[in-house]
Structure 1
Amino acid sequence: MSFPAHSPGDQTGPGSPVGRVLGTQDASPLTFWVAVGSDAYLQLDDVVVTQRDLPDRGTVTISGVVTAVRARHEGAAFESDVFAIADGMLPAMVQEAAEITVTRVEPEIYVPPAPGAVAYRAHGETRDAALSFDRMQRRLPIGIGRDGAPLYLNTDFLDGSRGAHVSISGISGVATKTSFATFLLYSIFTSGVLGSKAESANTKALIFNVKGEDLLFLDHENNRLDEPTREAYHKLGLDAGAFKQVTVFAPARAGDPSGSPDVASRLTGVDPFYWTLSEFTEQRLLPYVFADADDERQQYTMVVHAVAAHLAREAQPAGGGISLDGTRLGSYDDFVDYIVEQLNDDETRSTWAGSSVGLGTVNAFARRLISSKRDLSRLIRGDLPGGRAHQISTADAGQVTVVDLHNLPDRAQRFVVGVTLKTEFERKEKAGTAKPLLFVVLDELNKYAPRDGTSPIKEVLLDIAERGRSLGVILIGAQQTASEVERRIVSNSAIRVVGRLDPAEASRPEYGFLPPTQRQRALLAKPGTMFVAQPEIPVPLAVEFPFPAWATRPSEAGAAPRATLASMVSATDPFAVVGSTRDGGIDDDEIPF
């Protein structure tokens, strides 16, 4: 097989010749096959380009990605012929062919490539054009392709300019969903795609940590970071290192009158969080105590909202607790017992729950409220002071805010996630502007926004998915099974990412954006390999992202950086106090891991 004279190292041509457009298979403007030369090869994900000259229209360049590769003996009639051919007793030749799915036609004259036309493995500017990277004004590096060159994401489809939100799916512990989400954040913060230093510094991230204490050391460099990993980051235009500004919140320790954070491995730089009884009643947080997926469809939710409204009207602050009808309540247990007592009293029941609610409905509410004491007593307190010091807020925190939930039972986790998202979304609504951006990383999204049923948390997440783009709230949701997540949340995600999948899950229609071969490959994808789909490229890209440069578990935690918010350039508040645990800095007397 012969090709036009072309040096493999020549960067001025379309690429290195690898074969010719196959004539025995139909070629269309969207897919075609290439016969691979005997001295060449094509693998899945390679970028291929060919050209066709049209009369009076010039040259059309047709680019695509390899989505299937096959090899066969030509000249064999029976399956047993393979042995005769291998022994040299039967003449035949091995021929490989690759299916090319078209990603770009330039100019946009949709004609099929001509059979026999030379096909090239694209490189350099030709490769970037084939993947539409040259059209991206703000290219966000997301990893390395199979050809060893960087791959990018169009930031316009991430920050709300033309689209927003990311959906990441894969098997827990194998798909590295959280690792990719944090790498995505690191690339956003350090690549410069957000514009000025001030804008980058003001952009925030809110991460909920649900598995161990793995995400509590994002501001510590990974002690397993080696030179090849640093080179991988440099190849993407990034410096390998830890997150510079991290604020960590952990729940107040149960029964501790000082309200110290309940963490084991990180001894400094952690702020406790809880809600006082006064804040709980004033902010009408009672519905988030009943945050199970099916609760909103039950009749007792009428009682929930009626009681919440009554508490907001009548409760008065009293020290760390509240006063109701002259009775001081100093703990969540006392608070629950008092409400149940009022609902059981015939004279006060209608005042609290309404006159049209039956006793059975009231009892259903009371049973669920009583059961919440075990899970929420440590979070809703009457023995600790109020104020902003214990509230989860990204506005007063570092660039990255980590909320630790792993020590909390499921019901308490739902409460914290729901109330925090509600508070942050309302704060962005009041600001009335999309800048600065807030990225929310939430794992186990199928638990908080399941496909069936409704709940206060699900309503907040739907609000973020449908209106968050205009308010600068970007959801990066991760889940094992996208098929079990609310459709409207998944469909509003402009970026979809898939890691290692379970075979049954891979067959679901939610993964219809993956070509058949990629669905099969997702069953055996190794950790660190993701398939990323974005609107401008019709074929998902197979991406390998580098090993985290920040600690992903306590054993990997090296020294923390001593950067402060002042070093991040804050044009809005040049007199801000830095160095506290609240702003992510490290005090001089702190001992970093």
Structure 2
Amino acid sequence: MPEPAAPRPAAAGAAAAGEPAAGDRAATAGEPVGRVLGTADATPLTFWTAVAPDGYLQLDDVVTTTRALPGRDPVSIAGVVTAVRARHEGAQFDSDVFAIAEGMLPAQVQEAAEVTTTRIDPEVYVPPRPGAPVHRATGAARDAALHFDRMSRAVPIGCGRDGQPTYLNADFLDGQRGAHVSISGISGVATKTSFATFLLYSVFRSGVLGADGVNAKALIFNVKGEDLLFLDHPNTRLTPETVQAYTRLGLPAGPFPDVRVYAPPRADSSGTPDVTSRTSGVDSFYWTLAEFCAKRLLPYVFADADDERQQYTMVVHAVTAQLARLAVPAEGGISLDGVRIGAYEALVDHLVDQLSDEDTRASWTGSAVSLGTVNAFARRLIASKRDLGRLIRGDLATRRPHEINTTEGAQVTVVDLHNLPDRAQRFVVGVTLKTEFERKEKAGTAKPLLFVVLDELNKYAPRDGSSPIKEVLLDIAERGRSMGVILVGAQQTASEVERRIVTNSAVRVVGRLDPAEASRPEYGFLPPTARQRVLLARPGTMFVNQPDIPVPLCLEFPFPAWATRHAEAGPPPAATLRSITQRTDPFAVVGSGATAVGDDEIPF
């Protein structure tokens, strides 16, 4: 079934094709709602409008007015309402309100709205004249006021307060003119992950990427419960109103059509995926001992930012080099110093023995390192055995494909981390991002695009300190745009995330915020009234700031059309079932104790 066409705004080239002049565009605006106020200063960038007695304006409404100039075309001034007030004109004391309400004092109620200018066309920066009519912008006038008409590729991201679609310029998302998205808000209230997945859904299903959208990929790290393991299942709580909301945005209401899920293996020898709610279509991911040594992954065992400030990091890099040089792949693990090693725990014990022996310590540390520094390294390495033992294996090397590879997988790859301890989560995130980024570097092209969705970004790239993961994320933020790697980072507190990552994000999204966090300079793009409003924002309400539009737009995105938990999951479409069986390895354990099954046997 063909997807519904998105109700796109006019393209940027409309002017060359006969776009209406400023005066004509103003004539297409909606009903008059007031006049420019004469008792407050009007500037080209902000002005106040008196609201007509039979009208109203609310925050986020879009309005237009015009200014006539001698000898040239009139100037169209459009803006967004950023403040609204009402007062009694004629009242002198606070108590006068009672007398006025009882008709004992003459007074008039007057509402006024502050308008922040978003567009002046042509760009003649003059203020509107007091008394000039102000119109509510609708249709083409609204699109022009919010610069939607200049977006040749507009991604629908929700509806504004007026119920009309709101768009994001794809040029600032896919790297053509900018890249990366930063989403901030209180955990559990700001719906950061829900908005991130909706953004991906809109990018993939709206068709704005054209032919490139077919091959575009997404890598999502799931860190909270098993909520993101059912993106390819329809949501049984979908209502007709929600379907209509998707239709209004030009999107089909359904699940992601092509999803692959990875989960860590259980600690037992079977290596089945450690998930409970989803029983099929899940692959285990892990690294063999030979890969751990050859790919120099030891530094990611010490991926905490505090670790990098310690002196034992020199031991980390020395041991890493020795492992890459000495480790030889062998049946069931590796051979190291003539010793057969088949488990990560055994590897750790062997390294500790080598570092404890005075005869072999120098060859492993590479320099004259104090015994205290070596012991500090050994203590932390021993502590990693419990966390990483099931991820670095020697017993599963020939059992099944185990590498997370977005280029050979589905359009959306979900990596489940919620059952892993903190150190193991850091290891998986760091190694996976390093591998994917290096793969893009070797490809030498920005296509296909890879969107990386990472929650709790303040944990992986904190403001202070350094770590291997932080260096990879910085590399993505600063060079990923040219390689087609787009970071969609979510965090509770943007003020605690590395500044260069936040500043390199072309698109910034804010949901419900804590009062102390909202006052931080990282949210300086929010007007004063918006900073107050984010303290009250409901789930699903987001403030989106993008370079094309000088003020952040308040919008609501629709309820997910895909299942966000097992209780909501309906049966996946037939296309998804075929995709799962076609890519299933015949020797793999597909689910929790289940084996690979045929098309007519998938136990959903």
Fold-level similarity (TM above 0.5)? yes
2:320 maps to 308
SS of equivalent residue, structure 2 residue 204? helix
Deviations 1:31-80 (A, max 9, x none): 00000000000000000100011011211000000000000000000000
1:4 maps to none
SS of equivalent residue, structure 1 residue 475? strand
Q: 1:396 to 1:299 in 2, by over 3 A?
A: same
Matched-pair contact (CA < 8 Å) for 1:249–1:404: yes
Q: Out of 46, 53, 74, which is 1:38 matched to?
A: 53
Separation (CA, whole Å) in 2 of partners of 1:162 and 1:265: 41
Deviation of 1:190 (Å) = 0.3
Matched-pair contact (CA < 8 Å) for 1:157–1:164: yes
Q: Which letter does structure 2 place at the counterpart of 1:326?
A: G
1:362 maps to 374
The answer to whether structure 1 residue 235 and structure 2 residue 248 are counterparts is: yes
Deviation of 1:358 (Å) = 1.2
1:251 maps to 264
1:47 maps to 62
Q: 1:161 to 1:332 in 2, by over 3 A?
A: same
2:362 maps to 350
SS of equivalent residue, structure 1 residue 252? coil
Deviation of 1:586 (Å) = 9.0
Q: 1:482 to 1:280 in 2, by over 3 A?
A: same
1:181 maps to 196
Q: Which letter does structure 2 place at the counterpart of 1:399?
A: Q
The answer to whether structure 1 residue 434 and structure 2 residue 449 are counterparts is: no
SS of equivalent residue, structure 2 residue 350? helix
Deviation of 1:355 (Å) = 2.6
Separation (CA, whole Å) in 1 of partners of 2:398 and 2:303: 24
2:224 maps to 211
Q: Out of 78, 88, 92, which is 2:93 matched to?
A: 78
SS of equivalent residue, structure 1 residue 493? coil
SS of equivalent residue, structure 1 residue 355? coil
Q: Out of 526, 539, 542, which is 2:551 matched to?
A: 539
2:495 maps to 483
Q: 1:450 to 1:182 in 2, by over 3 A?
A: same
SS of equivalent residue, structure 1 residue 372? helix
Matched-pair contact (CA < 8 Å) for 1:560–1:592: no
2:233 maps to 220
Separation (CA, whole Å) in 1 of partners of 2:475 and 2:563: 33
Matched-pair contact (CA < 8 Å) for 2:63–2:137: yes
Give matches, 1:433-582, under 5 Å.
Answer: 433-563=445-575, 579-581=582-584
Separation (CA, whole Å) in 2 of partners of 1:170 and 1:234: 28
Separation (CA, whole Å) in 2 of partners of 1:132 and 1:532: 14
1:378 maps to 390
Q: Which letter does structure 1 place at the counterpart of 2:240?
A: E
Separation (CA, whole Å) in 2 of partners of 1:265 and 1:590: 18
Separation (CA, whole Å) in 2 of partners of 1:561 and 1:110: 55
Deviation of 1:384 (Å) = 1.1
The answer to whether structure 1 residue 395 and structure 2 residue 398 are counterparts is: no
Separation (CA, whole Å) in 1 of partners of 2:337 and 2:533: 65
SS of equivalent residue, structure 2 residue 478? helix
Matched-pair contact (CA < 8 Å) for 1:375–1:412: yes
1:574 maps to none
SS of equivalent residue, structure 1 residue 174? coil
1:333 maps to 345
User: Can you give the 5+ residue segments of structure 1 that lack an aligned partner in the other structure?
Assistant: 1-9, 568-576
Over aligned residue pairs, what C-alpha RMSD do you find? 1.8
Question: TM-score with structure 2 length normalisation?
Answer: 0.93
Q: Which letter does structure 1 place at the counterpart of 2:283?
A: D
Matched-pair contact (CA < 8 Å) for 1:398–1:582: no
SS of equivalent residue, structure 1 residue 115? coil
Q: 1:122 to 1:351 in 2, by over 3 A?
A: same
Deviations 1:449-468 (A, max 9, x none): 00000000000000000000
Q: 1:15 to 1:526 in 2, by over 3 A?
A: same
Matched-pair contact (CA < 8 Å) for 1:276–1:320: no
Matched-pair contact (CA < 8 Å) for 2:512–2:535: yes
1:420 maps to 432
Q: Which letter does structure 2 place at the counterpart of 1:369?
A: L
Give matches, 1:290-301, under 5 Å.
Answer: 290-301=302-313
Separation (CA, whole Å) in 2 of partners of 1:224 and 1:264: 22
The answer to whether structure 1 residue 170 and structure 2 residue 170 are counterparts is: no
Deviation of 1:592 (Å) = 5.4
Separation (CA, whole Å) in 2 of partners of 1:303 and 1:153: 47
Give matches, 1:189-204, under 5 Å.
Answer: 189-196=204-211, 199-204=212-217
SS of equivalent residue, structure 1 residue 441? strand
Q: Which letter does structure 1 place at the counterpart of 2:282?
A: V
1:591 maps to 602
Moved more, 321-330 or 155-164: 321-330
2:116 maps to 101
Deviation of 1:580 (Å) = 2.3
Question: TM-score with structure 1 length normalisation?
Answer: 0.94
User: Can you give the 5+ residue segments of structure 2 that lack an aligned partner in the other structure?
Assistant: 1-24, 591-595
Separation (CA, whole Å) in 2 of partners of 1:413 and 1:362: 25
SS of equivalent residue, structure 1 residue 125? helix
Matched-pair contact (CA < 8 Å) for 1:11–1:123: no
Q: Out of 282, 286, 295, which is 1:270 matched to?
A: 282
